Amino acid sequence: MVFGKKEIVGLDIGSSAIKLAELKEARNGYQLKNIGEALLPPEAIVNKVIINSGAVVEAISTLVKDLGVKTKDVAISISGHSIIIKKVSIPNMSEEELREAIPWELEQNIPHSIDNVNYDFQILPGESQEGNMDVLIVAAKKDITEDYIAVANEAGLNPVVVDVDVFALENMFEINYPLTDEVLALINIGASVTNINILKGGVSIFARDITAGGRQFTEWIQKEFNIGYDEAEKMKYSLRLTGISKELDRITRDFADLICGEIERTIDFFTTTSLKETVRKIVLGGGSSKVPYIKERLVERIGASVEIVNPFKNIIHDVRDFDPEYILDIAPKMGVVIGLALRRKGDK
Ligand SMILES: Nc1ncnc2c1ncn2[C@@H]1O[C@H](COP(=O)(O)OP(=O)(O)OP(=O)(O)O)[C@@H](O)[C@H]1O
Ligand SMILES: [Mg+2]
């Protein structure tokens, strides 16, 4: 841990809500300074594209004001179809040579012109085929990235790190969970996107965003009961608390099947393309991880153990400042924002 590095605020611009977290580096680890969420109207961000930037800016500004955040430097992230993460195997070369080879590799691997993307890469440790090395390439569409930076700017903030959700999750996981050789999957089921990051020995060996999430479930409920977005969202939140009607139970099961089917397909793809690595454990999060049947279906379909993520596991949080019940309730959906709050200026 490096002391004295300037702290920055984690700002997760999700499609259902803005989440913000601030951490302080204490002698004995990280300490929670601030955490909160501001809901967005349904039409503000659709399929991860910012449609109503005014609503997003307002939600960010309100959250910053309500939480009394003074720091302006923030880490934001993007996810969904505007991101492409690819692992490629290329002949061993120096980092400099690699930097020159990457644009060519990108052209082969992405459907967009490389002029329209921002990209980064990382050489993966561990064994590859003889004479080759594995490189993880991340490309993000420039226009989408610029839209996310713009709303933060308009809210008076200064994005100094632009991350992607799957790697923020990995960052969060690293400081909260012990290193293991096991192949495990971090899965975050949000409103529009489900992020999957498969780690082996603490290193990402596969990452993908599936464009499916809880928003679809909300839309099904709206249609079935002929109600508005807010009411349908409320219904979802109370699924575990009140009795569930037969119709709602059917839709809930259908949704769990849809999401878990998508996750299963992605993990199957990973297994067949990775020399038969098997996911033994799933660490599950995102707001939609709370939907009944999801956890059970994943255990059945993937044959892995499933644990709900706790991004505050190793983060000191004073019970006088943060109600433990509140923290427990919000924990599963705070994975990305905690990962972002751990970033420091100058990080890639
Ligand atoms: N208790 C709950 N039961 C069922 N669904 C829930 C519950 N709490 C939150 N959700 C759902 O989880 C979703 C929000 O999750 P999350 O905050 O992880 O998404 P997001 O970050 O806004 O979206 P994305 O990352 O996909 O852009 C919403 O669809 C919401 O209805
Ligand atoms: Mg999210």
Give this prediction's pTM: 0.95
Ligand 1: residue of 308, 333, 338 to mutate (most ligand atoms within 8 A of CB) is: 333
CA of 335 to the centre of ligand 2 (A): 9
Annotate 98-113 with b (16+ C-beta within 10 A) or e (fewer). Answer: beebbeebbeeebeee
pLDDT of 5 over the 70 cut: no
pLDDT of 158 over the 70 cut: yes
Residues lining ion ligand 2 (Cβ < 5 A) are 14, 190
Domains of the chain: 9-341 (3.30.420.40)
What backbone torsions phi and psi does residue 270 show, to the nearest 5 degrees? -60, -45
**Residue 127: predicted pLDDT:** 64
What is the rounded distance in angstroms from the CA atom of residue 109 to the CA atom of residue 89?
12
CB 164 within 8 A of CB 335: no
Confidence category of residue 112, pLDDT binned at 50, 70, 90: confident
Above pLDDT 90, what percent of the chain?
79
* Sheet of 305-308, strand order: 203-210, 194-200, 183-189, 281-285, 305-308
pLDDT of 3 over the 90 cut: no
pLDDT of 178 over the 90 cut: yes
Ligand 1: residue of 236, 241, 294, 328 to mutate (most ligand atoms within 8 A of CB) is: 236
pLDDT of 275 over the 70 cut: yes
**Residue 142: predicted pLDDT:** 95
Lowest mean pLDDT across 105-119, 150-164, 187-201, 305-319: 105-119
**Residue 2: predicted pLDDT:** 44
The residue written with tokens 């807010």 in the block is 230
Residue type, 186: L
**Residue 241: predicted pLDDT:** 64
CA of 14 to the centre of ligand 2 (A): 5
CA of 144 to the centre of ligand 1 (A): 21
**Residue 111: predicted pLDDT:** 82
Ligand 1: residue of 12, 15, 16, 56 to mutate (most ligand atoms within 8 A of CB) is: 16
Residue with the larger pLDDT of the pair 109 and 228: 228
Q: 63-108: per-residue pLDDT in tens?
A: 999 999 999 999 999 999 999 998 888 899 988 999 999 999 888 8
Q: 231-254: per-residue pLDDT in tens?
A: 999 999 988 766 788 899 999 999
